[in-house]
Amino acid sequence: MKSVSNIRALAAATRLANVRYAIRDMAVLAEQLEQEGKTILPLNIGDPLNFDFCTPPHLIEAVEKAMRDGKNGYAPSQGIPEALEAIRAEVERKGIRDIHSIFLTSGVSEGLEICLSALVNEGENVLTPCPDYPMYSAVLAKLGAQPNSYVLDESNDWQPDLDDIARKITSDTRGIVVGNPNNPTGAVYSRRTLEQIAELARQHGLVIFADDIYDKLILDSEPHISIAALAPDVPVVTFNGLSKAYLVPGWRVGWGVVSGDAAGVQSYVEGIHQLLRARLCSNQPSQFAVRPALEGPQDHLVEVRNKLRARRDLTVRACRTTPRTSCVAPRGAFYAFPRFDIPVSDEQFVKQLLMEKHVLMVHGTGFGQQPGTKHVRIAFLPDEATLTRAYDGLRAFITEHYA
Ligand SMILES: Cc1ncc(COP(=O)(O)O)c(C=O)c1O
């Protein structure tokens, strides 16, 4: 007997309307061009492994050994003890005290998702930077949180605008996301700025979500300061991981560290642990890379920073000598967020640049930006020859169309 089919076109959930990930969306267009035989100059994605950066061999050996030693089952939900101990020592070196939980996750991405899910109810809000790394607002959109963004001030080296933060806090605001060093601006925040953010969080009972994933990729001489170290009483979840500085983004190793007043964070920590258990654990073999990464040789970092510094300088020079372009010099991570004085939208600009010059960058609207301004995000990971070709293409494009 033939069964009756009730299969209809499946509509995606309406909550996805606010989920954007322009970084990968632009890549789809580039793939089409590649299929037509064009060579794309990729300045779009923050994966160092696509370029001349190599995973330190001792990390590969540690994970291989773990697999051969049979560490292939489920791990404890919070992570394996040796990794947790190494993370504790690391964050204590950064001055973070009053630690109430440490846990390993599938990258900072999963950690943030878990920690926001454990806190935020539908209709509440968490302050996110504008421009932002799109994952923050994507997760909050999935949770049904109301968007609430604070200004990163381009005229002040992209430091957070503290008056704007203060103005945006409402009775429904539960937390604030602080990415330092910042994606997409490359800004590194001053002690004073961080202290002032911590003070606002203290006054208004907010949780700080501190994304420190780029803390070892500081390109100038100022040190990185973890906001949690400045405010031991304030609830802070500090996120970090191996993706960027230890060159293993595909291994999905991240962690979160909850600090703050013990009584204040207790029930929140229980909620986080509940969600960690519900998703079983993060990848066990790759957790065995954490101790060798944090406690082993750090030589590769010197080379990584040297390469990035040279590429940052080249990027800033190129932007400053290109018509209609200005750029605040990034001080950390591997992104620049130059501004363009052009008569078309930044999305149209990057699409046309891709089609005509095969240079792939991501439009600023993909990150949120102040109305009326037009930016693109550049990931300056490719070698200098590739960057030079890309910036020559950019300059020619602007000269041909708008100069
Ligand atoms: C600011 C920021 N946070 C988090 C992530 C994702 O980190 P993970 O690979 O640990 O999930 C990225 C990746 O580009 C990032 O730029």
Using the mean position of ligand 1's atoms as its centre, give its distance from the Cα of residue 23 in Å.
12
Distance from chain centroid for Cα 2 = 52
**pLDDT average, residue stretch 2-8:** 73
**pLDDT average, residue stretch 199-211:** 98
Which of 50, 135, 136, 252 to mutate to test ligand 1, by most ligand atoms within 8 A of the CB atom? 135
The rounded distance, in Å, linking the Cα atoms of 54 and 64 is 16
Residue 67 has pLDDT above 90, yes or no: yes
The rounded distance, in Å, linking the Cα atoms of 192 and 296 is 32
Is residue 129 lining ligand 1, measured as CB closer than 6 Å? no
How many other CB atoms sit within 10 Å of the CB of residue 158? Answer: 23
Q: Whose CA is nearest to atom 1 of ligand 1?
A: 183
**pLDDT average, residue stretch 174-195:** 98
The pLDDT of residue 388 is 98
Residue 13 has pLDDT above 90, yes or no: no
**CB distance 300 to 56 below 8 Å:** yes
Comparing C-alpha atoms, which of 86, 80, 58, 29 is closest to residue 285? 80
Is residue 245 lining ligand 1, measured as CB closer than 6 Å? no
Average confidence score pLDDT of the chain: 95
Order of strands, sheet of 335-336, starting from the edge strand that comes earlier in the sequence: 335-336, 376-379, 362-363
**pLDDT average, residue stretch 199-219:** 98
Is residue 382 lining ligand 1, measured as CB closer than 6 Å? no
Residue 148 carries which side chain, given as an amino acid letter? N
Q: Which long-range contacts link 321-324 to residues 24+ away (Cβ below 8 Å)? A: 321/395, 322/391, 322/394, 322/395, 322/398, 323/395, 323/398, 323/399, 323/402, 323/403, 324/398, 324/402, 324/403
Is residue 133 lining ligand 1, measured as CB closer than 6 Å? yes
For 122-152, the DSSP string reads TT-EEEEEES--HHHHHHHHHTTPBP-EEEE
**pLDDT average, residue stretch 369-374:** 91
For residue range 305-351, list pLDDT tens digits in order: 999 999 999 999 999 999 999 999 999 999 999 999 999 999 999 99
Using the mean position of ligand 1's atoms as its centre, give its distance from the Cα of residue 148 in Å.
21
Residue 10 has pLDDT above 90, yes or no: no
Residue 300 has pLDDT above 80, yes or no: yes
Q: What is the pTM of this model?
A: 0.95
Res. 259 pLDDT band, cuts 50 70 90: very high
Is residue 46 lining ligand 1, measured as CB closer than 6 Å? yes
Q: Whose CA is nearest to atom 4 of ligand 1?
A: 108
Atom of ligand 1 nearest to the CA of 244: 9
The pLDDT of residue 15 is 78
Residue 6 has pLDDT above 80, yes or no: no
The pLDDT of residue 14 is 81
The pLDDT of residue 20 is 66
Is residue 243 lining ligand 1, measured as CB closer than 6 Å? yes
For residue range 142-157, list pLDDT tens digits in order: 999 999 999 999 999 9
- Helices assigned H by DSSP within 158-261: 162-168, 191-204, 227-230
- Paired tokens of 357: 């010059």
Comparing C-alpha atoms, which of 49, 104, 67, 63 is closest to residue 292? 63
Using the mean position of ligand 1's atoms as its centre, give its distance from the Cα of residue 122 in Å.
24
Comparing C-alpha atoms, which of 158, 152, 215 is closest to residue 181? 215
